[in-house]
Amino acid sequence: MTLPDWFDTVTLVPGIPLVGALLVAILRDSRIGAWVVIAATAAGFAAALRLPGQLGSGLFLLVDPLSAHLAILTAFIGLTTAVISRRFIAHELATGALDAGRVQSYHTLFLTFLGFMLLALLSNNLGVAWVALEAATISAVLVVGLPRTDEAVEASWKFFILCGVGIALALFGTVVMYLAALPALGPGYGAMTWTELTLAAPNCRATLLNLAFVFMLVGYGTKAGLVPLHSWMPDAHAEGPTPVSAVLAGSVLNVALLLIMRLRAVMAANAQAIDPGPPIMVLGLLSVLLAAFSLWGRRDVKRFFAFSSIEQSGLAAFAIGLGGVGATFAALLHMTVHTLCKAAVYQSVGAASQRKGGQKFTEITGMIASDPALGITLAAAIIAVAGLPPFGLFASEILILSETMRQTPWLVPLLAIGLLVGGWKLLARLITLCLGAPTQARGPAVGWTLLWPAWLHLVLAAILGFAMPATIAAWLLAAAKVAS
């Protein structure tokens, strides 16, 4: 079941985007660059689709249902976002928000970011995962700082300093984890490998495991945007180019949550170590509650949805903390569907803010009246994110709530308050964004044909929620078993 580690088709998944990044950097032509990005992400997605047939693990890479699932998802989001961003960036270029050099940097960084994300997802080695995540963070920081506005610079600074500290703490956790596994696995790569760690966890030093857990939780929790470690997220989402927000909301959170899941699995395998559930649940619950209440005062559309991402990420973390196959399954489903839906939201919000020439709520109203296609897409995406049928977040939220009811019923009211307060505001914002009298349009109109990626996401989200094929269900279940 071991893989040869390099030059394998698995390596193509992160490899193709990274090579594509190099290519774009060399080509120095933004228009061709955009097509290269699409081609690279498409090829990466195609390679990712083959992952389910290549289950196995090596020193550096690990393809199990969990990582394969999230890698396919990330590659898919990367592809659709690349399609959307070609048009988006062209418009930014036309309006002068970005110059040609920055556009080229954008394409390069986008692919770098995506490649390292995929690498982080597929890595079996804690160190590799860490390096990949770090590299992805840096490229994301640079992308966020691309627009030359004061706010963008501020946002990328906050992003960098917080994630930098977070990732540093995670590295410390990784060192301690290695130290904890030393007696069980001896020196060498084994003590840094998820698969080996999980197997050898009962023989690891419990107290060191605890220490490692704390540091990695804080480190990766920062990346997952868990309150109170989340401050970078609203700003980064609000100020960076919108297509990046779509990928940020989806993939970074997923990578961080995946690492937390794996960490949880290691911790849970050791009887002497502390129960990893409560701290994760507390952070998750805090995120749900605080983000929900914070939705109310927002004036900026993208920052608003960033808070919604924090809420959803918190919900997933909460479910991961609950533990058990059922809850982990729910968390996985939630992550998957949320990624799809939130990407659809950002894709349509991006188009809407370009159309209206601003991203304040006061600037974007009455979308359905002025641009029916865009307005309806946006409305559907918000409905999906708010957890209403026929979209999948509805299903995953039900699963999470009923798992909570089964395991810790006294937490249900808190969770429900968070969901209610958040969902209420989301839908109230649906009213102001999509309904009422439209504000004046300043940008290009967007028709149905340009919105197909968003609808593809929404349809997939609906299918996953209400008519999940048995094979995918079995596959997700296998993934959940890996992680719990």
Q: If we measure between CA atoms, which residue out of 349, 423, 343 comes closest to residue 383? A: 423
Site string for another protein, 241-280 (x = CB under 8 A): ---------------------------------x----x-
Residue 404's identity, in one-letter code, is T
Determine the interface stretch with another protein among 44-52, 106-114, 314-322, 399-407 (rule: CB under 8 A).
399-407
- Position among 176, 341, 349, 450 found at the interface with another protein (CB under 8 A): 176
Determine the interface stretch with another protein among 39-47, 49-57, 170-178, 246-254 (rule: CB under 8 A).
170-178
Ranges within 415-434 binding another protein (CB under 8 A) = 416, 419-421, 423-424, 427-428, 431-432
The answer to whether the CB of 111 falls within 8 A of the CB of 20 is yes
Token readout for 89 is 């960036």
Determine the interface stretch with another protein among 8-16, 46-54, 212-220, 260-268 (rule: CB under 8 A).
212-220
- Position among 49, 398, 414, 456 found at the interface with another protein (CB under 8 A): 398
Contact between 325 and another protein by CB under 8 A: the answer reads no
Question: Pairing relation of β-strands 56-57 and 62-63?
Answer: antiparallel
For another protein, the closer of residues 39 and 153 by Cβ is 153
Ranges within 293-322 binding another protein (CB under 8 A) = 293-294, 296-300, 303, 307
Phi, psi at 2, each rounded to 5°:
-90, 155
Element (H, E) at 453: helix 452-466
Q: What is the size of the binding site for another protein (CB under 8 A)? A: 119
Determine the interface stretch with another protein among 15-23, 67-75, 232-240, 244-252 (rule: CB under 8 A).
232-240
Site string for another protein, 343-382 (x = CB under 8 A): -------------------------xx-------------
390 DSSP 8-state letter = T
Rama region for 6: left / alpha / beta (φ>0; ψ in -120 to 50; rest):
beta
How far apart are CB 54 and another protein at their closest, in Å? 23
- b/e map 277-300, b = 16+ CB within 10 Å: bebbbebbbbbbbbbbbbbeebeb
Determine the interface stretch with another protein among 25-33, 91-99, 110-118, 162-170 (rule: CB under 8 A).
162-170
Kindly list the distances between the CA atom of residue 181 and the CA atoms of 30, 178, 203, 237, 346, in Å, as whole numbers in the listed order. Answer: 48, 5, 8, 37, 42
Determine the interface stretch with another protein among 49-57, 259-267, 350-358, 469-477 (rule: CB under 8 A).
469-477
- Position among 401, 411, 441, 456 found at the interface with another protein (CB under 8 A): 401
- b/e map 142-153, b = 16+ CB within 10 Å: bbbbbbeeeebe
How far apart are CB 43 and another protein at their closest, in Å? 26
The answer to whether the CB of 300 falls within 8 A of the CB of 360 is yes
How far apart are CB 46 and another protein at their closest, in Å? 26
Token readout for 329 is 């399954």
Exposed, middle or buried, 1 (CB in 10 Å: 0-12/13-18/19+)?
exposed
How far apart are CB 131 and another protein at their closest, in Å? 4
Ranges within 72-91 binding another protein (CB under 8 A) = none
Ranges within 100-159 binding another protein (CB under 8 A) = 125, 127-128, 130-131, 134-135, 138, 141-142, 145, 150-151, 153-154, 156-158
Alpha-carbon gap, residue 212 to 193, rounded angstroms: 14
Alpha-carbon gap, residue 89 to 185, rounded angstroms: 49
